[in-house]
Amino acid sequence: MNVTRQLRQLGSVIGGVVLLGSLFGASAVDAATYYTATTGHDANPGTAAAPFRTVNKGVKGLKPGDTLLIKSGTYAEALRNTIPGGTSWSAPVTVAAYPGHTVTLRPNAGTDILLYFAGATKHHIIVDGLILDGTNITGSGIIISYDGTDPAKSAHHIRIKNTEIKNIPHTGVDVRRASPFNEFVNLRVHRTGLSGSGHGFYIHSDNNVVEHSHIYDNSKCGVQFYDTQGGVNHNIFRYNRVYNNGKGPQGGQYDTTCKTGFWIGAGTGTLAYNNLIWDNQGIGIMVGGGAANAQVYNNTIHGNGQQGLYINGGSSNAVVKNNISSGNGLAEIYKQNSNPILTNNLTSNPMFVNAAQANFKLQASSPAIDAGATLSAVPDDHVKVSRPKGGAYDIGAYEYTGSTSSALVTAPMGLRIFQEN
């Protein structure tokens, strides 16, 4: 790795670029790209023509700005705190599937965690386009945490995108206390909690974003924002699809402790909008007793086994606007106190195009059209159509455009994640 880097840097001497790089840190000119392939060898230099054999060898010497591209195959490996940190989002360390390739990490029996990040140096790391298969592990899929017992030594600014996380005994993505500013974009998280414990996501920290993801077939909650010691502030949950959670590993035996699609259990200032939440065994969206100032906007909540939207009496100052809650088992919207602001929500028949096929777009005669409040926090809809299209915002996750066709969403690295309706 060092020889390759030195050659690249030598070629950059013209015009004083190396001097600028030394003054301002890692930059595009001294960033390097390395390769791993099942046909490689760890004694190789990691070039495209002579790649490494293992992912762990590939990440070992990465520096801020560097990228490791992994070619197709199944790798019997976990990355347990082995990816070095970057310096900023301008100079991250990136570990990604080679464009158009299918890359699976499936460690052998005896491994506990697939991806682990801990310590103050673990930040500005991007993982892109992998399949994380926990069939043989004993713990969680991804953990972002702190080193030892000191929360001051926390990992942060980890970006996971275009990645599938499946077959996990415990939690799919576990973000521990004091590990903030992480991003989860375009993920598929399913079949977690196979041992009887664990959620799709369990977030304990501040300022995280979960967006454009499918979260389904998880044994307990699809997503929970909660910590027993408080915190969990200013997280954002948007453009997601959360369905069929709160059931047993094979979709049969119901879990008895947490069956909610999306649970805001604690913290202040959670913002949730443009999500589709349906067919979960318990509640669709729960605003829990430890939550303050939650903002729940323009979600479509349908066909859940219990309440569509439940606002606990211990919560404070929730603002719930422009949501569709329909066809849920116990109540569409249930509140235990008079504290929340509830306006422009639709609980009658919204006239979906085809709810049985999870097409929650609106028919032309839907009462949700032009019936919403204007919300600056929600500039567009579930598929990024700008709001409003008519005289006012529509209620629910979709803005009516006159079109109800489907479009296949393709992730930037070529990983097809989900079908939009």
Q: What are phi and psi of 381, to 5 degrees?
A: -115, -170
The per-residue pLDDT for 308 is 97
The per-residue pLDDT for 95 is 98
The pTM of this model reads 0.89
The full DSSP string for 364-391 is TT-TTTT-SPP-TT--B-TT--BS-SSS
CA distances from 268 to 48, 185, 230, 294, 322 (A): 48, 22, 9, 6, 20
The full DSSP string for 195-230 is TS---SEEE-SSS-EEES-EEES-SS-SEEE--TTS
The per-residue pLDDT for 29 is 54
Mean pLDDT for the chain overall:
89
The per-residue pLDDT for 228 is 87
Show the tokens assigned to 298: 């323009």
Show the tokens assigned to 265: 């259990």
The per-residue pLDDT for 1 is 52
Phi-psi region at 25: left, alpha or beta (left = phi > 0; alpha = psi -120 to 50)? left
The per-residue pLDDT for 113 is 97
Check residue 108 and report its DSSP letter.
P
The per-residue pLDDT for 151 is 82
The per-residue pLDDT for 281 is 93
> What is the per-residue pLDDT across 102-126, written as a single tens digit (0 to 9) for each?
999 999 999 999 999 999 999 999 9
Q: 3-class SS at 111?
A: coil
The per-residue pLDDT for 408 is 38
Cβ(281)–Cβ(301) below 8 Å: no
Q: pLDDT averaged over consecutive 10-residue blocks of the chain (421 residues)? A: 44 37 49 98 98 98 98 98 98 98 97 97 98 97 90 94 97 96 98 90 97 96 92 96 81 61 96 98 95 97 97 95 97 91 98 97 98 98 97 98 54 42 45
The per-residue pLDDT for 254 is 45
The per-residue pLDDT for 11 is 40
